[in-house]
Amino acid sequence: MSRPFARSLSQLARPLSQKPRQLLRRRHRDFSTSTPRHLMGMTGFTETQVTVREAVAAVCSRFPNTYWQEHDQSEQDPTEFHAALAKDGWLGIALPEELGGAGLGISEATIMMQTITESGAGMAGAQSIHANVYATQPLARFGTQEQLHRTIPNIISGQWRACFGVTEPNAGLDTLRLSTAAKVQPDGSYRITGQKIWITCAQVARKMILLARTTPRDEVRKPSEGLSLFCIDLDRTQPGLDMRRIKKMGGRAVDANEVWFDNYAVPADTLVGAEGEGFKIILHGMNAERCLLAGEALGLGYAALGKAAEYARGRVVFQRPIGQNQAVAHPLADAYMQLEAAKLATYHAARLYDASRSDATVQQDAVGVAANSAKYLAAEAAFTACERAVLAHGGMGYAVEFDVERYFRECLVPRIAPVSREMILNYISEKVLKLPRSY
Ligand SMILES: Cc1cc2nc3c(=O)[nH]c(=O)nc-3n(C[C@H](O)[C@H](O)[C@H](O)COP(=O)(O)OP(=O)(O)OC[C@H]3O[C@@H](n4cnc5c(N)ncnc54)[C@H](O)[C@@H]3O)c2cc1C
Protein backbone atom coordinates (compact mmCIF):
# COMPACT_ATOMS: atom_id res chain seq x y z
CA MET A 1 0.00 0.00 0.00
CA SER A 2 2.83 2.41 0.70
CA ARG A 3 3.25 5.09 -1.86
CA PRO A 4 6.49 4.54 -3.77
CA PHE A 5 9.01 7.35 -3.69
CA ALA A 6 7.88 8.68 -7.02
CA ARG A 7 9.32 12.15 -6.90
CA SER A 8 12.84 13.37 -6.49
CA LEU A 9 13.35 16.32 -4.21
CA SER A 10 13.72 18.59 -7.20
CA GLN A 11 10.37 17.39 -8.53
CA LEU A 12 8.83 17.70 -5.11
CA ALA A 13 10.14 21.20 -4.77
CA ARG A 14 9.53 22.23 -8.36
CA PRO A 15 6.41 24.28 -7.66
CA LEU A 16 8.01 25.56 -4.50
CA SER A 17 10.60 28.28 -4.33
CA GLN A 18 14.28 27.53 -3.77
CA LYS A 19 13.69 28.03 -0.07
CA PRO A 20 12.90 24.43 0.98
CA ARG A 21 16.09 23.18 -0.61
CA GLN A 22 18.16 25.84 1.10
CA LEU A 23 16.52 25.08 4.40
CA LEU A 24 17.09 21.36 3.98
CA ARG A 25 20.82 21.95 4.23
CA ARG A 26 20.19 22.99 7.84
CA ARG A 27 18.49 19.71 8.62
CA HIS A 28 20.00 19.29 12.10
CA ARG A 29 18.59 22.53 13.39
CA ASP A 30 15.95 22.24 16.12
CA PHE A 31 12.31 22.94 15.31
CA SER A 32 12.20 26.04 17.43
CA THR A 33 14.29 27.73 20.04
CA SER A 34 12.49 26.16 22.94
CA THR A 35 11.28 22.76 21.77
CA PRO A 36 13.43 19.71 22.54
CA ARG A 37 14.39 17.15 19.88
CA HIS A 38 11.62 15.06 18.34
CA LEU A 39 10.47 11.88 19.99
CA MET A 40 8.54 10.22 17.19
CA GLY A 41 9.98 7.06 15.64
CA MET A 42 10.51 7.69 11.90
CA THR A 43 10.71 4.07 10.73
CA GLY A 44 8.34 3.33 7.88
CA PHE A 45 7.96 6.83 6.51
CA THR A 46 8.73 7.32 2.83
CA GLU A 47 11.62 9.45 1.67
CA THR A 48 9.14 12.06 0.44
CA GLN A 49 7.46 12.24 3.83
CA VAL A 50 10.81 12.65 5.57
CA THR A 51 11.73 15.39 3.10
CA VAL A 52 8.46 17.20 3.74
CA ARG A 53 8.93 16.91 7.50
CA GLU A 54 12.44 18.32 7.42
CA ALA A 55 11.64 21.16 5.04
CA VAL A 56 8.47 22.23 6.87
CA ALA A 57 10.29 21.97 10.20
CA ALA A 58 12.89 24.35 8.84
CA VAL A 59 10.22 26.93 8.02
CA CYS A 60 8.64 26.46 11.45
CA SER A 61 12.00 26.92 13.18
CA ARG A 62 11.78 30.61 12.28
CA PHE A 63 8.71 30.87 14.55
CA PRO A 64 9.81 30.02 18.09
CA ASN A 65 7.45 29.24 20.92
CA THR A 66 7.66 32.84 22.10
CA TYR A 67 6.02 33.87 18.81
CA TRP A 68 3.10 31.53 19.51
CA GLN A 69 2.86 32.53 23.17
CA GLU A 70 2.63 36.18 22.21
CA HIS A 71 0.13 35.62 19.44
CA ASP A 72 -2.00 33.45 21.70
CA GLN A 73 -2.02 36.14 24.39
CA SER A 74 -2.66 39.03 22.00
CA GLU A 75 -5.11 37.04 19.82
CA GLN A 76 -3.22 38.30 16.81
CA ASP A 77 -3.35 36.39 13.54
CA PRO A 78 -0.09 34.57 12.69
CA THR A 79 -0.02 36.30 9.30
CA GLU A 80 3.75 35.95 8.92
CA PHE A 81 3.59 32.20 9.51
CA HIS A 82 0.89 31.69 6.89
CA ALA A 83 2.90 33.86 4.48
CA ALA A 84 6.13 31.94 5.12
CA LEU A 85 4.49 28.59 4.32
CA ALA A 86 2.75 30.08 1.29
CA LYS A 87 5.97 31.64 0.04
CA ASP A 88 7.61 28.24 -0.09
CA GLY A 89 4.59 26.63 -1.75
CA TRP A 90 3.47 24.43 1.12
CA LEU A 91 -0.21 25.42 0.94
CA GLY A 92 -0.39 23.58 -2.38
CA ILE A 93 1.08 20.34 -1.06
CA ALA A 94 -1.96 18.25 -2.01
CA LEU A 95 -3.23 20.37 -4.90
CA PRO A 96 -2.68 19.50 -8.56
CA GLU A 97 0.63 20.35 -10.17
CA GLU A 98 -1.05 22.04 -13.14
CA LEU A 99 -2.50 24.61 -10.70
CA GLY A 100 0.83 25.24 -9.02
CA GLY A 101 0.54 22.60 -6.30
CA ALA A 102 2.96 19.80 -5.47
CA GLY A 103 0.44 17.05 -6.34
CA LEU A 104 1.34 14.99 -3.29
CA GLY A 105 -1.08 12.97 -1.20
CA ILE A 106 -2.87 13.24 2.12
CA SER A 107 -0.03 11.22 3.69
CA GLU A 108 2.37 14.05 2.94
CA ALA A 109 -0.17 16.73 3.92
CA THR A 110 -0.72 14.91 7.22
CA ILE A 111 2.97 14.86 8.06
CA MET A 112 3.15 18.54 7.17
CA MET A 113 0.31 19.38 9.58
CA GLN A 114 1.89 17.20 12.28
CA THR A 115 5.22 18.93 11.82
CA ILE A 116 3.55 22.31 12.25
CA THR A 117 1.83 21.51 15.54
CA GLU A 118 4.91 19.64 16.80
CA SER A 119 7.13 22.66 16.13
CA GLY A 120 5.41 24.51 18.96
CA ALA A 121 2.97 26.29 16.65
CA GLY A 122 0.26 24.00 18.01
CA MET A 123 -3.29 24.09 16.77
CA ALA A 124 -3.07 27.82 16.10
CA GLY A 125 -0.36 27.22 13.52
CA ALA A 126 -2.26 24.34 11.97
CA GLN A 127 -5.57 26.19 11.90
CA SER A 128 -4.03 29.21 10.22
CA ILE A 129 -3.59 27.09 7.09
CA HIS A 130 -5.85 24.06 7.60
CA ALA A 131 -8.79 25.18 5.42
CA ASN A 132 -6.44 26.33 2.65
CA VAL A 133 -4.99 22.82 2.47
CA TYR A 134 -8.18 20.86 3.07
CA ALA A 135 -11.25 22.85 1.98
CA THR A 136 -9.65 23.43 -1.41
CA GLN A 137 -9.68 19.67 -2.06
CA PRO A 138 -13.36 19.39 -3.11
CA LEU A 139 -12.92 22.55 -5.18
CA ALA A 140 -9.90 21.07 -6.98
CA ARG A 141 -11.85 17.89 -7.69
CA PHE A 142 -15.24 19.27 -8.69
CA GLY A 143 -14.63 22.90 -9.72
CA THR A 144 -14.70 24.08 -13.32
CA GLN A 145 -11.40 24.94 -15.01
CA GLU A 146 -12.37 28.60 -14.78
CA GLN A 147 -13.06 28.32 -11.03
CA LEU A 148 -9.82 26.45 -10.42
CA HIS A 149 -7.56 28.81 -12.33
CA ARG A 150 -9.23 31.86 -10.78
CA THR A 151 -8.99 30.59 -7.20
CA ILE A 152 -6.44 27.89 -6.45
CA PRO A 153 -3.23 29.70 -7.51
CA ASN A 154 -4.20 32.69 -5.36
CA ILE A 155 -4.72 30.43 -2.35
CA ILE A 156 -1.46 28.56 -2.90
CA SER A 157 0.47 31.82 -3.21
CA GLY A 158 -1.10 33.05 0.03
CA GLN A 159 -2.66 36.09 -1.60
CA TRP A 160 -6.10 34.84 -0.64
CA ARG A 161 -7.00 32.83 2.43
CA ALA A 162 -9.88 30.40 2.65
CA CYS A 163 -12.29 29.26 5.33
CA PHE A 164 -14.79 26.43 5.50
CA GLY A 165 -18.43 27.12 6.37
CA VAL A 166 -20.43 24.07 7.38
CA THR A 167 -21.32 24.14 11.09
CA GLU A 168 -24.56 25.87 12.14
CA PRO A 169 -25.81 26.66 15.62
CA ASN A 170 -29.15 24.92 15.16
CA ALA A 171 -27.87 21.82 13.37
CA GLY A 172 -24.63 20.95 15.20
CA LEU A 173 -23.28 17.55 14.21
CA ASP A 174 -26.54 16.79 12.41
CA THR A 175 -25.18 18.45 9.25
CA LEU A 176 -28.13 17.38 7.12
CA ARG A 177 -30.33 19.72 9.17
CA LEU A 178 -28.36 22.80 8.23
CA SER A 179 -30.72 25.54 7.16
CA THR A 180 -28.60 28.23 5.52
CA ALA A 181 -30.41 28.69 2.22
CA ALA A 182 -28.99 29.67 -1.18
CA LYS A 183 -31.93 30.82 -3.29
CA VAL A 184 -31.43 30.92 -7.02
CA GLN A 185 -32.42 34.19 -8.73
CA PRO A 186 -33.88 34.67 -12.23
CA ASP A 187 -30.38 35.60 -13.56
CA GLY A 188 -28.84 32.41 -12.13
CA SER A 189 -27.12 34.14 -9.20
CA TYR A 190 -27.89 33.13 -5.60
CA ARG A 191 -28.98 34.95 -2.45
CA ILE A 192 -27.71 33.40 0.80
CA THR A 193 -29.53 33.66 4.11
CA GLY A 194 -28.62 31.89 7.34
CA GLN A 195 -26.02 31.55 10.08
CA LYS A 196 -22.76 29.63 10.38
CA ILE A 197 -20.77 29.19 13.58
CA TRP A 198 -17.19 28.36 14.58
CA ILE A 199 -15.85 29.40 11.19
CA THR A 200 -12.08 29.49 11.56
CA CYS A 201 -10.22 32.36 9.85
CA ALA A 202 -13.37 34.05 8.51
CA GLN A 203 -11.94 37.43 9.61
CA VAL A 204 -8.91 37.04 7.37
CA ALA A 205 -10.36 34.87 4.60
CA ARG A 206 -11.17 36.17 1.14
CA LYS A 207 -12.97 32.94 0.17
CA MET A 208 -15.42 30.69 1.94
CA ILE A 209 -16.17 27.14 0.85
CA LEU A 210 -19.81 27.09 1.91
CA LEU A 211 -22.36 24.31 2.28
CA ALA A 212 -25.94 25.59 1.93
CA ARG A 213 -29.36 24.24 1.13
CA THR A 214 -30.63 24.95 -2.40
CA THR A 215 -33.75 22.80 -2.03
CA PRO A 216 -35.67 22.74 1.27
CA ARG A 217 -35.30 19.50 3.24
CA ASP A 218 -39.02 18.69 2.99
CA GLU A 219 -38.86 18.86 -0.82
CA VAL A 220 -36.11 16.25 -1.35
CA ARG A 221 -36.29 12.45 -1.29
CA LYS A 222 -33.34 12.09 1.09
CA PRO A 223 -32.05 14.75 3.52
CA SER A 224 -28.58 14.43 1.95
CA GLU A 225 -30.03 15.81 -1.28
CA GLY A 226 -30.63 19.50 -1.97
CA LEU A 227 -27.39 20.72 -0.36
CA SER A 228 -24.94 22.58 -2.59
CA LEU A 229 -21.32 23.63 -2.32
CA PHE A 230 -20.21 27.17 -3.13
CA CYS A 231 -16.88 28.94 -3.27
CA ILE A 232 -17.87 32.51 -2.42
CA ASP A 233 -16.17 35.81 -1.75
CA LEU A 234 -16.45 37.11 1.80
CA ASP A 235 -16.85 40.70 0.71
CA ARG A 236 -17.49 42.79 3.79
CA THR A 237 -18.26 45.84 1.67
CA GLN A 238 -21.38 44.15 0.30
CA PRO A 239 -24.72 44.21 2.15
CA GLY A 240 -25.94 41.06 3.90
CA LEU A 241 -22.70 39.80 5.47
CA ASP A 242 -21.82 40.12 9.14
CA MET A 243 -19.50 38.27 11.49
CA ARG A 244 -18.50 38.23 15.14
CA ARG A 245 -15.35 36.74 16.61
CA ILE A 246 -15.90 34.11 19.31
CA LYS A 247 -13.72 34.37 22.44
CA LYS A 248 -12.21 30.94 22.87
CA MET A 249 -10.17 28.70 25.14
CA GLY A 250 -7.21 27.85 22.91
CA GLY A 251 -5.66 28.58 19.52
CA ARG A 252 -6.50 32.18 20.29
CA ALA A 253 -4.20 33.59 17.63
CA VAL A 254 -6.62 32.29 15.03
CA ASP A 255 -10.11 33.74 14.81
CA ALA A 256 -13.27 31.65 15.01
CA ASN A 257 -16.56 33.27 14.15
CA GLU A 258 -20.26 33.40 13.92
CA VAL A 259 -21.12 34.46 10.36
CA TRP A 260 -24.51 35.80 9.33
CA PHE A 261 -25.82 35.99 5.76
CA ASP A 262 -28.90 38.07 5.06
CA ASN A 263 -29.86 37.90 1.40
CA TYR A 264 -26.15 38.04 0.54
CA ALA A 265 -25.70 38.02 -3.25
CA VAL A 266 -23.21 35.67 -4.93
CA PRO A 267 -22.78 35.05 -8.67
CA ALA A 268 -23.95 31.86 -10.41
CA ASP A 269 -20.39 30.71 -11.03
CA THR A 270 -19.71 30.30 -7.32
CA LEU A 271 -21.56 26.96 -7.36
CA VAL A 272 -19.06 24.05 -7.18
CA GLY A 273 -20.19 20.84 -8.91
CA ALA A 274 -23.85 20.14 -9.56
CA GLU A 275 -26.59 21.87 -7.60
CA GLY A 276 -27.95 19.56 -4.90
CA GLU A 277 -24.82 17.38 -4.84
CA GLY A 278 -22.94 19.35 -2.17
CA PHE A 279 -23.13 16.76 0.57
CA LYS A 280 -21.70 14.03 -1.67
CA ILE A 281 -18.90 16.39 -2.71
CA ILE A 282 -18.08 17.23 0.90
CA LEU A 283 -18.03 13.54 1.81
CA HIS A 284 -15.08 13.05 -0.55
CA GLY A 285 -12.97 15.29 1.62
CA MET A 286 -14.12 14.25 5.08
CA ASN A 287 -11.80 11.27 5.46
CA ALA A 288 -8.89 13.41 4.32
CA GLU A 289 -9.69 15.98 6.98
CA ARG A 290 -9.84 13.27 9.67
CA CYS A 291 -6.27 12.28 8.69
CA LEU A 292 -5.03 15.88 8.82
CA LEU A 293 -6.61 16.43 12.23
CA ALA A 294 -5.09 13.19 13.49
CA GLY A 295 -1.67 14.43 12.37
CA GLU A 296 -2.26 17.78 14.07
CA ALA A 297 -3.21 16.03 17.32
CA LEU A 298 -0.14 13.79 17.16
CA GLY A 299 2.19 16.74 16.72
CA LEU A 300 0.70 18.48 19.72
CA GLY A 301 1.03 15.33 21.82
CA TYR A 302 4.67 14.76 20.89
CA ALA A 303 5.48 18.43 21.51
CA ALA A 304 3.93 18.28 24.99
CA LEU A 305 5.66 15.02 25.81
CA GLY A 306 9.01 16.36 24.65
CA LYS A 307 8.59 19.34 26.95
CA ALA A 308 7.58 17.08 29.86
CA ALA A 309 10.58 14.77 29.42
CA GLU A 310 12.94 17.74 29.17
CA TYR A 311 11.52 19.23 32.36
CA ALA A 312 11.52 15.87 34.20
CA ARG A 313 15.21 15.41 33.37
CA GLY A 314 16.19 18.83 34.65
CA ARG A 315 13.93 19.61 37.61
CA VAL A 316 15.47 18.46 40.89
CA VAL A 317 13.27 18.00 43.97
CA PHE A 318 14.16 15.82 46.98
CA GLN A 319 17.71 15.95 45.57
CA ARG A 320 16.91 13.95 42.45
CA PRO A 321 15.49 14.69 39.01
CA ILE A 322 11.71 14.30 39.23
CA GLY A 323 11.88 11.96 36.20
CA GLN A 324 13.70 9.45 38.37
CA ASN A 325 10.41 8.88 40.19
CA GLN A 326 8.44 6.23 38.37
CA ALA A 327 5.23 8.04 39.27
CA VAL A 328 6.45 10.78 36.94
CA ALA A 329 8.27 8.63 34.35
CA HIS A 330 5.70 5.91 33.76
CA PRO A 331 2.75 8.12 32.77
CA LEU A 332 5.06 9.79 30.24
CA ALA A 333 6.33 6.46 28.89
CA ASP A 334 2.72 5.27 28.61
CA ALA A 335 1.75 8.49 26.79
CA TYR A 336 4.61 7.92 24.33
CA MET A 337 3.36 4.43 23.47
CA GLN A 338 -0.17 5.74 23.00
CA LEU A 339 1.13 8.38 20.58
CA GLU A 340 3.20 5.84 18.66
CA ALA A 341 0.18 3.53 18.31
CA ALA A 342 -1.99 6.42 17.14
CA LYS A 343 0.75 7.41 14.70
CA LEU A 344 0.58 3.96 13.07
CA ALA A 345 -3.22 4.25 12.82
CA THR A 346 -2.94 7.75 11.35
CA TYR A 347 -0.44 7.03 8.60
CA HIS A 348 -2.18 3.75 7.81
CA ALA A 349 -5.42 5.70 7.27
CA ALA A 350 -3.68 8.35 5.15
CA ARG A 351 -2.03 5.66 3.02
CA LEU A 352 -5.39 3.94 2.52
CA TYR A 353 -6.98 7.25 1.56
CA ASP A 354 -4.26 7.96 -1.00
CA ALA A 355 -4.41 4.41 -2.37
CA SER A 356 -8.20 4.60 -2.73
CA ARG A 357 -7.84 7.40 -5.25
CA SER A 358 -6.16 5.13 -7.78
CA ASP A 359 -6.97 1.60 -6.57
CA ALA A 360 -10.64 0.61 -6.85
CA THR A 361 -10.10 -2.43 -4.58
CA VAL A 362 -9.65 -0.12 -1.60
CA GLN A 363 -13.17 0.24 -0.26
CA GLN A 364 -14.40 3.68 0.88
CA ASP A 365 -15.89 2.03 3.98
CA ALA A 366 -12.43 0.77 4.94
CA VAL A 367 -11.00 4.25 4.45
CA GLY A 368 -13.79 5.71 6.58
CA VAL A 369 -13.22 3.28 9.44
CA ALA A 370 -9.45 3.82 9.33
CA ALA A 371 -9.67 7.63 9.13
CA ASN A 372 -12.24 7.93 11.92
CA SER A 373 -10.32 5.50 14.14
CA ALA A 374 -7.10 7.42 13.53
CA LYS A 375 -8.68 10.77 14.39
CA TYR A 376 -10.18 9.33 17.58
CA LEU A 377 -6.99 7.57 18.72
CA ALA A 378 -4.71 10.50 17.92
CA ALA A 379 -6.99 12.98 19.71
CA GLU A 380 -7.16 10.78 22.80
CA ALA A 381 -3.39 10.15 22.79
CA ALA A 382 -2.73 13.87 22.42
CA PHE A 383 -5.06 14.67 25.30
CA THR A 384 -3.31 12.12 27.52
CA ALA A 385 0.14 13.45 26.61
CA CYS A 386 -0.84 17.10 27.09
CA GLU A 387 -2.54 16.55 30.42
CA ARG A 388 0.39 14.53 31.77
CA ALA A 389 2.84 17.11 30.47
CA VAL A 390 1.11 19.82 32.52
CA LEU A 391 1.12 17.62 35.63
CA ALA A 392 4.79 16.67 35.20
CA HIS A 393 5.64 20.37 35.29
CA GLY A 394 3.89 20.89 38.64
CA GLY A 395 3.11 24.57 39.12
CA MET A 396 5.17 25.55 36.10
CA GLY A 397 2.75 23.58 33.94
CA TYR A 398 0.41 26.48 34.55
CA ALA A 399 2.90 29.10 33.35
CA VAL A 400 2.61 30.41 29.81
CA GLU A 401 6.36 30.36 29.22
CA PHE A 402 6.50 26.56 29.54
CA ASP A 403 4.00 26.11 26.67
CA VAL A 404 2.30 22.98 27.97
CA GLU A 405 -0.71 24.93 29.28
CA ARG A 406 -1.21 26.22 25.71
CA TYR A 407 -0.95 22.72 24.27
CA PHE A 408 -3.39 21.44 26.89
CA ARG A 409 -5.96 24.11 26.03
CA GLU A 410 -5.57 23.35 22.34
CA CYS A 411 -5.65 19.56 22.55
CA LEU A 412 -9.39 19.56 23.14
CA VAL A 413 -10.07 20.72 19.60
CA PRO A 414 -9.19 17.41 17.89
CA ARG A 415 -11.55 15.67 20.32
CA ILE A 416 -14.44 17.96 19.33
CA ALA A 417 -13.91 18.84 15.66
CA PRO A 418 -14.59 18.27 12.87
CA VAL A 419 -16.53 15.37 14.35
CA SER A 420 -16.76 14.57 18.05
CA ARG A 421 -15.42 11.44 19.71
CA GLU A 422 -18.98 10.34 20.52
CA MET A 423 -19.99 10.46 16.85
CA ILE A 424 -16.93 8.40 15.89
CA LEU A 425 -17.89 5.81 18.50
CA ASN A 426 -21.43 5.84 17.06
CA TYR A 427 -19.99 5.32 13.58
CA ILE A 428 -17.74 2.38 14.56
CA SER A 429 -20.59 0.81 16.57
CA GLU A 430 -22.84 0.93 13.54
CA LYS A 431 -20.48 0.30 10.61
CA VAL A 432 -18.07 -2.22 12.13
CA LEU A 433 -19.99 -3.85 14.97
CA LYS A 434 -23.33 -3.72 13.12
CA LEU A 435 -25.11 -2.39 16.20
CA PRO A 436 -28.35 -0.46 15.74
CA ARG A 437 -27.82 3.11 14.59
CA SER A 438 -28.17 5.43 17.58
CA TYR A 439 -28.57 8.81 15.91
C1 LIG B 1 -11.89 25.62 17.53
C2 LIG B 1 -12.95 25.16 16.58
C3 LIG B 1 -12.82 25.42 15.22
C4 LIG B 1 -13.82 25.04 14.33
N5 LIG B 1 -13.69 25.38 13.01
C6 LIG B 1 -14.73 25.12 12.17
C7 LIG B 1 -14.70 25.60 10.81
O8 LIG B 1 -13.73 26.23 10.37
N9 LIG B 1 -15.77 25.35 10.02
C10 LIG B 1 -16.86 24.67 10.46
O11 LIG B 1 -17.78 24.47 9.68
N12 LIG B 1 -16.92 24.22 11.74
C13 LIG B 1 -15.89 24.43 12.61
N14 LIG B 1 -15.95 24.00 13.92
C15 LIG B 1 -17.17 23.34 14.37
C16 LIG B 1 -16.98 21.90 14.75
O17 LIG B 1 -16.84 21.11 13.60
C18 LIG B 1 -18.19 21.51 15.60
O19 LIG B 1 -18.05 22.19 16.84
C20 LIG B 1 -18.26 20.04 15.83
O21 LIG B 1 -18.63 19.42 14.63
C22 LIG B 1 -19.30 19.72 16.90
O23 LIG B 1 -20.53 20.30 16.59
P24 LIG B 1 -21.34 21.13 17.71
O25 LIG B 1 -20.36 22.03 18.34
O26 LIG B 1 -22.53 21.75 17.12
O27 LIG B 1 -21.75 20.02 18.76
P28 LIG B 1 -23.21 19.41 19.02
O29 LIG B 1 -23.74 18.78 17.78
O30 LIG B 1 -24.05 20.45 19.69
O31 LIG B 1 -22.88 18.26 20.07
C32 LIG B 1 -22.65 18.56 21.44
C33 LIG B 1 -22.22 17.28 22.16
O34 LIG B 1 -23.25 16.30 22.07
C35 LIG B 1 -22.73 15.10 21.54
N36 LIG B 1 -23.77 14.45 20.71
C37 LIG B 1 -24.64 15.06 19.86
N38 LIG B 1 -25.40 14.12 19.28
C39 LIG B 1 -25.02 12.92 19.75
C40 LIG B 1 -25.43 11.57 19.52
N41 LIG B 1 -26.42 11.26 18.68
N42 LIG B 1 -24.78 10.58 20.17
C43 LIG B 1 -23.77 10.87 21.04
N44 LIG B 1 -23.34 12.13 21.30
C45 LIG B 1 -23.96 13.13 20.67
C46 LIG B 1 -21.53 15.51 20.72
O47 LIG B 1 -20.62 14.44 20.57
C48 LIG B 1 -20.96 16.64 21.54
O49 LIG B 1 -20.17 16.11 22.59
C50 LIG B 1 -14.96 24.34 14.81
C51 LIG B 1 -15.07 24.06 16.17
C52 LIG B 1 -14.10 24.47 17.05
C53 LIG B 1 -14.27 24.19 18.52
Ligand 1 pocket member 166 (CB < 6 A): yes
Q: Looking at the domain assignment, is residue 154 inside a domain?
A: no
pLDDT at 37: 64
Measured between alpha carbons, how far is 325 from 227 in angstroms, rounded to an integer? 57
**165 and 185 part of one domain:** yes
Q: Does the residue 151 lie in any domain? A: no
Residue range of the domain that includes 120: 9-142
Same domain, yes or no: 134 and 45: yes
pLDDT, position 215: 98
What's residue 320's pLDDT? 98
CA 420–ligand 1 middle distance (angstroms): 6
For ligand 1, is residue 198 a contact (CB within 6 Å)? yes
The CATH number covering residue 115 comes to 1.10.540.10
Q: Of 89, 112, 142, which one is at a domain's C-terminal end? A: 142
Q: Any catalytic annotation for residue 118?
A: no
Q: Is 164 in the pocket of ligand 1 (CB under 6 A)?
A: yes
- Same domain as 302, residue 266: no
How many domains does the chain divide into? 3
pLDDT at 11: 43
Cβ(286) to ligand 1 under 6 A?
A: no
* Residues 283, 370 within the same domain: yes
Does 254 reside within a domain?
yes
Clarify whether residues 319 and 265 are in a common domain: no
Q: Do 269 and 288 fall within a single domain?
A: no
pLDDT in tens, the chain (439 residues): 333 333 333 345 444 444 433 333 333 333 334 445 689 999 999 999 999 999 999 999 999 999 999 999 999 999 999 999 999 999 999 999 999 999 999 999 999 999 999 999 999 999 999 999 999 999 999 999 999 999 999 999 999 999 999 999 999 999 999 999 999 999 999 999 999 999 999 999 999 999 999 999 999 999 999 999 999 999 999 999 999 999 999 999 999 999 999 999 999 999 999 999 999 999 878 999 999 999 999 999 999 999 999 999 999 999 999 999 999 999 999 999 999 999 999 999 999 999 999 999 999 999 999 999 999 999 999 999 999 999 999 999 999 999 999 999 999 999 999 999 999 999 999 999 999 999 8
CATH number at residue 422: 1.20.140.10
Pairing of the two strands 162-165 and 207-213: parallel
Pocket test for ligand 1, best of 123, 164, 170, 173 (most atoms within 8 A of CB): 173
Is the domain of 124 the same as that of 235?
Answer: no
* 366-399 as b/e: b if 16+ CB within 10 A: ebbbbbbbbbbbbbbbbbbbbbbbbebbeeebee
